[in-house]
Amino acid sequence: MKLTGFTLRRLVMLWLLVVGGAGVCAAQGGGATPGAKAPVKSSKPAKAVPPPKPVLAPPAGSLVIIGGGLRADNAEVWQRIVQLAGGKGARIGVFGSASINPEKSAQNTVNKLNQYGAQAFFIPLGVTLPNSDYRKAAEDPEVVAAIHSATGIYFTGGDQARITKALVRPDGKHTAALDAVWDVYRDGGVVAGSSAGAAIMSTTMFYDAKPTLDMLKQGVNDGHEIAAGLGFIGDDVFVDQHLLVRGRFARMIPVMLKKGYQIGLGIDENSAMVVNAKRDVEIIGYSGALLLDLSAAITDRGVKGFNISNATISYLDRGDKFNLVTREFTPSPDKADNKLDPNQPDTREPVYTNDILGNNAVLDLMVNLIDNAQQEAIGIAFGNPRDAYPDLGFEFRFSKTINSVGYSSTEVEAYSVLKLRMDIRPIQLQQPLYRYR
């Protein structure tokens, strides 16, 4: 009889079943010689395979990160928040959690958003909210439902530690309210925050921060100067606020080094960084932002005291754009055709400041250097003679490299400054610093 391939395969399978069944019977004693012991097989219970963790899609929404001091007449910023939340009639939930008076703080913001066309409302959640248990409120289905009903979220200013305390459980896990905020963001809504509301945007935030100069002298520590933020911008970018007005760019650097950030963004007052789903950063409002890049920076452990070399600093002016993925810069339309020619500098005078941490001092120095025949500029930082370590100061040296670029506006006196090198090293000051003649 000629067997087809299909028939042959069926016979082989039948034979395997018969042999396998006999083997099972023998193992169980069936058909075995009386008195013979069945072989003992040691077996371990199967381990339960944990279900795979859900893969969360990157957020489809946007961030509006405001440097604090947002004025009621800054229509560009307020309107952008409303627009990103869906336009006229957009429901925007406002957290006043950072404030000592959450309801009053939130209501002020609600009123401003409504003036620009939103239907904003107060989220009753805060550690200082009277007659309320913030732990229960953060898990309350009604509060969570209210957040889910929004297409925009706004965090007011105050103390950022109050925001994280209200929205994060003691074990570090998200409350139901914080999960709801993330749902709004992932589904395409906008998350905005000013001052303290901006500080929470990165995975690390300033917590109980010392003055900038003290942080350079004494360092930063988890749980003291810094703590965990809410991380809406991702884990690769550090965010700070009130930047130029308070000279805070220098305090970002020791934090970035300690926590491993290569990129830092610091936004000035009455200004905002809009970050979309493609991670394009657009600067809007009154002023601009500083971009710090430490990807090629080094520190010298042989030098006693804080120091860094080969850091890169840029100033992004209003209207400028920068992509966090490609690192591509796009100047504002009024600067696009007005790139500065390094061979035709506007000035030739030395550039120096004895208070680099002063109001707008670093921006003034950068602008004066980029359109100058000089190749470097120096700024000094030192403290009060009655402070701790009065003889310790720092030199900030800014240098132009082949990658340094400047743009000037054709409409107003405004500049964008890209990729200056910055080196910081400790210096010893003579005491007394001065004496009468």
Residue 188 tokens read as 């395409």
What pairing do the DSSP bridges indicate for beta strands 289-293 and 405-408? unpaired
CA 20 to chain centre: 62
**Rounded distance, CA 96 to CA 156, Å?**
5
**Rounded distance, CA 232 to CA 202, Å?**
6
| pLDDT at residue 54 in the model | 61
| pLDDT at residue 53 in the model | 54
Identify the bridge partners of residue 394 per DSSP, sorted by sequence position.
381, 426
| pLDDT at residue 156 in the model | 98
Phi, psi (degrees; rounded to nearest 5) at 265:
-125, 125
Q: Domain ranges for the chain, please list them.
A: 62-330
| pLDDT at residue 389 in the model | 86
Residue position matching structure tokens 């998350």: 191
The rounded radius of gyration (Å) of the Cα atoms in the chain is 30
Phi, psi (degrees; rounded to nearest 5) at 188:
110, 5
| pLDDT at residue 51 in the model | 61
Averages of pLDDT over runs of 10 residues in the chain (437 residues) are 41 41 39 42 50 71 97 98 98 98 97 98 97 96 98 98 98 97 98 98 96 94 95 97 95 97 98 98 97 97 94 98 97 97 94 97 98 97 87 97 97 96 96 86
| pLDDT at residue 55 in the model | 61
Residue 88 tokens read as 């006229």
Note if the bond before 211 is cis, omega within 30 degrees.
no
Q: Which CATH number fits domain 62-330: 3.40.50.150, 3.30.70.940, 3.40.50.880, 3.10.20.30?
A: 3.40.50.880
Residue position matching structure tokens 């959640």: 125
Sheet holding 152-155, edge to edge: 119-123, 91-95, 152-155, 190-194, 62-66, 271-275, 280-285, 321-323, 329-330
**Rounded distance, CA 366 to CA 298, Å?**
21
